[in-house]
Amino acid sequence: FLENLEISSLIEILKKESSKDIAYILSSLSVDYAKNFFNEFTDNTDEIINVLLSDFKISKEDAEALQKKLFEKYKKFLSEESMRTDGKTALINFVNNLPLENSKKLYDKIEEVNSEIGKELRNKIFMFDDLTELDDNDIVLIINNLEHNSLISFMKSVKYEIREKFFRNMSERVASMFREDLEILNELSEEEKAITIDNVFNAIREILKYK
């Protein structure tokens, strides 16, 4: 069951075990897994190697007791790891579902509290500024899946750079039609723009499967 763990997780579990017990465990693992363990383990490797080189033995009772202890630690670790993972998933979902202003505030707070975790979560979070980084396929996907009037209102509300990114991914005929519709559409108030951007960006998150 230990080989179900990442090497770093096994190292965490074995931290307080004796060199003899670690040597016994390693001798029970596959060669590839044990090799990878040694590549990452930096503690008492000399002692472990000395035990492995000796004609060491472990009684059946001690082996069973060790296996039982490790299995309990394994279950506890998996439970804690699951909780940590679920916590991160929850934060990702919060950021990806909140209105834009609150979304950015929450992500900034995550980075402030733990910049490393912030970086880890970032590639699963879709922020408004990420629109300019989308590839052409994603933009086409958005154009094809957003309701026409919603996209028109959105393009009326966003800055020139984003608007042009959408135009570049339209055929000449479609782009011309959109430009005409944009000219016809009355200027939106700042409040209307904010509401439009929030609503449409939420739809974009769904289209790109960030929700």
Using CA atoms, how far residue 110 sits from 25, 103, 117, 145, in Å, is 38, 11, 8, 32
> In this structure, are 110 and 48 located in the same domain?
no
> In this structure, are 147 and 171 located in the same domain?
yes
> In this structure, are 25 and 11 located in the same domain?
yes
> In this structure, are 14 and 64 located in the same domain?
yes
> In this structure, are 47 and 116 located in the same domain?
no
> In this structure, are 158 and 197 located in the same domain?
yes
**Any idea what the Cα angle at residue 182 is, between residues 181 and 188, rounded to 5°?**
125
Instruction: Please report the pLDDT score of residue 67 as a whole number.
Output: 80
Instruction: Please report the pLDDT score of residue 148 as a whole number.
Output: 94
What is the domain-level CATH number for residue 152? 1.10.220.30
> In this structure, are 134 and 194 located in the same domain?
yes
Assign 3-state DSSP to the chain and report helix, strand, coil percentages, each to 5. 80, 0, 20
Which domain range does residue 97 map to?
88-122
> In this structure, are 71 and 96 located in the same domain?
no
Number of folded domains that form the chain: 3
Instruction: Please report the pLDDT score of residue 78 as a whole number.
Output: 62
Instruction: Please report the pLDDT score of residue 80 as a whole number.
Output: 61
Last residue of a domain, one of 83, 106, 140: 83
> In this structure, are 67 and 137 located in the same domain?
no
Coil, strand or helix: which one is 209? Answer: coil
Instruction: Please report the pLDDT score of residue 3 as a whole number.
Output: 67
Prediction pTM value = 0.57
> In this structure, are 9 and 35 located in the same domain?
yes
Instruction: Please report the pLDDT score of residue 83 as a whole number.
Output: 46
> In this structure, are 6 and 66 located in the same domain?
yes
DSSP character for 2? Answer: G
Q: Enumerate residues 6+ apart whose C-beta is below 8 A from 2.
A: 10, 13, 25, 29, 70, 74
Walk along the chain (211 residues) and give the pLDDT tens digit of each residue: 666 677 777 777 777 777 888 788 777 778 777 777 777 776 767 777 777 767 777 778 887 887 888 777 767 766 665 545 556 777 888 888 888 988 998 899 888 888 888 898 898 999 999 999 999 999 999 999 999 999 999 999 999 999 999 999 999 999 999 999 999 999 899 999 999 999 999 999 999 987 5
> In this structure, are 101 and 29 located in the same domain?
no
